[in-house]
Amino acid sequence: MSAPVPSSPPAGDPLGRLWAVVPAGGAGTRLWPLSRAGNPKFLLDLTGSGRSLLQSTVDRLVPLVGERVVVVTGAVHERAVRRQLPAVDRVLAEPAPRDSMAAIGWAAAVLEREDPEALIGSFAADHVILQEEEFRACVREAAEVAATGLVVTIGIEPTGPSTAFGYVRGEEAVEGFPTARRVGEFVEKPDAERAAAYVASGDYRWNAGMFIVRAATLLDLLAEQHPDLAAGLREVAADPSTLERRWPGLTRIAIDHAVAEPAAAAGRVAMVPGPFAWEDLGDFAALGAMTPRSTPGVTVLGDEALVQAPGSTGLVVPAAGRTVAVVGLQDVVVVDTGDAVLVTTYAHAQEVKAVVEELKRAGRTDLT
């Protein structure tokens, strides 16, 4: 069932100008062999909800923005995205990946031309957020702060000293808003010692890559750091016939490096704390932690009747329809897709990407 469309917001309400921009890209190589270049993780139902990660992302945004949704994806995935989201009219298809700044900036440039006061909120297609009301409350406050001209990010409350995520440091409160704080800095994924110090300080949140900002502000900030990229995106928005010619020459850079970090250094970024559980399902360890356990000791994504796992813990995905037996193994990951079988452990889940890289070197594009 699709989420309800909200009633019209009050006049002057920033939510009435907010567009959800959903970048849907990446092959999800750490979730191979489930996720592949031709069928990436955002198109898959990895939570057992009956909805893909992309569909679930849009579902939780619709109560905020109604039909104001733009999905940016690769040209090779455009058809699948449109098939999964028939109610979303706006799908921007990138000729080739150019990282998050180009994807989000393109959508911003298109919306800026239609409404110079438009706000955008960028939310990746492959995140899992189960506490949806708490999430939407954060976005509402973030939109109000963004309407003042700041870039706003949602900082996730850490559940532990993770080395898998970047961090954002909050400083003084933003006057006039319930929870918003100024951002002192964004920091890259830390080592374990620094991560523990960040969490212990209470000043740092996980950087989930969610940004809410006026479309024009985003592009103006980009123009200060990367003028050619900003000009190229605005040119493509003004004349879509230039897309194929201009796109390959656009600078390939993440929005964090292109805009968020320099803007934070200039005091132009705020953070709204996100008190909800969040996961980006970056590997099978994360997937196992997020998926409800269906068999004693083992999480099964798929048909439980196909799995026998006495004395074992971990995650089993019997996607090929064959019986999978795991005996006496702890924190094991077994994924059977028919043309490939992966066996690893939670501790080595991040290393699955290396298998994909080796298959590519061997020319096995049929498997990647």
Q: What is the pLDDT of residue 235?
A: 98
Residue in the structure block whose two tokens are 């003042």: 148
Rounded distance between C-alpha atoms, residue 101 and residue 159, angstroms: 28
Per DSSP, 63 falls in state: H
Tens of pLDDT, residue by residue over 121-152, are 999 999 999 999 999 999 999 999 999 999 99
Q: What is the pLDDT of residue 295?
A: 63
Q: What is the pTM of this model?
A: 0.92
Q: Please name the residues in contact with 254: beta carbons below 8 A apart, sequence gap of 6 or more.
A: 99, 100, 101
pLDDT bucket at 230, cuts 50 / 70 / 90: very high
Mean pLDDT of 305-320: 96
Q: What is the pLDDT of residue 294?
A: 62
Q: Where do the structural domains in the chain lie, given as residue ranges?
A: 14-274, 288-361
Rounded distance between C-alpha atoms, residue 6 and residue 210, angstroms: 22
In CATH, the number for domain 14-274 is: 3.90.550.10
Tens of pLDDT, residue by residue over 75-104, are 999 999 999 999 999 999 999 999 999 999
Q: What angle do CA 295, 300, 304 make, to 5 degrees?
A: 65
Rounded distance between C-alpha atoms, residue 312 and residue 194, angstroms: 33
Note whether 271 and 141 are within 8 A (CB): no
Q: What is the pLDDT of residue 1?
A: 38
What does pLDDT average to over the chain? 94
Tens of pLDDT, residue by residue over 14-37, are 899 999 999 999 888 999 999 999
Tens of pLDDT, residue by residue over 339-349, are 999 999 999 99
DSSP 116-136: TT-EEEE--TT-B-S-HHHHH
